Amino acid sequence: MTLHREGRTLLITSLIIVLGINAFFAYLFPDREYLREFIVVITSLFYLIILQFFRVPKRHTEINPQHIIAPADGKVVVIEETVESEYFKGTRRQISIFMSPLNVHINFNPISGIVSYFKYHPGKFLVAWHPKSSTENERTTYVVKHENGTEILFRQIAGALAKRICWYAKENESVTQGSEFGFIKFGSRIDIFLPLDAEICVNLGDKPVGGETVIAKLR
């Protein structure tokens, strides 16, 4: 299993803590084998959860200029028309994908094109499904200009547990559909804002696969 570079420090720190806890209980209760074994099981499970969170899955993206692919694993929690006030300042179709701590948290470019806009916003850490999280939480905003001139906006949003958003793309940089553009640690959400005439290919409750599932098609 390949592990993501964003998890190296945390994984090493967590391993030291886990080993320290087990050593402490072994020293404190040398005659209580059942208790020591119980602690080993609990701390091992805790470490495995963190370990799987930073796994890097193998994904195959079929490049298609008409397709918008899922930027992340998770669950579709919003499909609606809304006003995007930061960049477009007009009505767009919004799809939101919520990532639980058990999902892979790598973020994939939904289309190929040029990054025409990027901005990081410090903010709060409301739960990611809260309606105000899109405008009040810590977040980034990307806009990628498609080869046909259409611009797609997608936003990384930190949740109650996500205390760090990582991003790799820069303005005026060329990006490829399916390539990695960022990472969010522990529970978060991504909003995608599409043209009103885009054909939506997912439903509420669907669980798209980041980098593979087609969530919309451009007309």
Q: Which two structure tokens, joined as six digits, stand for 159?
A: 């949740």
Where residue 9 falls among pLDDT bands split at 50, 70, 90?
Answer: confident
- At residue 131, the pLDDT reads 53
Q: Do 29 and 111 fall within a single domain?
A: no
Overall number of domains in the chain: 2
In the block, which residue shows the tokens 């992340």? 72
Q: Is the pLDDT of residue 177 over 80?
A: yes
Look at residue 62 and tell me if it is in a domain.
Answer: no
Q: Do 16 and 110 fall within a single domain?
A: no
Q: Do 49 and 72 fall within a single domain?
A: no
Q: Mind listing the pLDDT tens digit for each residue in 91-124? A: 999 999 998 877 888 899 999 999 999 999 886 6
Look at residue 31 and tell me if it is in a domain.
Answer: yes
- At residue 29, the pLDDT reads 82
Q: Is the pLDDT of residue 126 over 80?
A: no
Which of 85-89, 93-97, 100-104, 128-132 is predicted with the least confidence, judged by mean pLDDT? 128-132
Parallel/antiparallel/unpaired status of strands 180-184 and 75-84: unpaired
Handedness of CA 173, 100, 70, 137 (dihedral sign): negative
**Average pLDDT of the segment spanning 125-143:** 68
Q: Residue length, the chain?
A: 219
**Average pLDDT of the segment spanning 153-159:** 88
Q: Is the pLDDT of residue 161 over 60?
A: no
Catalytic: which of 96, 112, 134, 188?
A: 188
- At residue 137, the pLDDT reads 73
Beta bridge partners of 167: 182
188 is catalytic: yes
Give the domain range for residue 139: 67-217
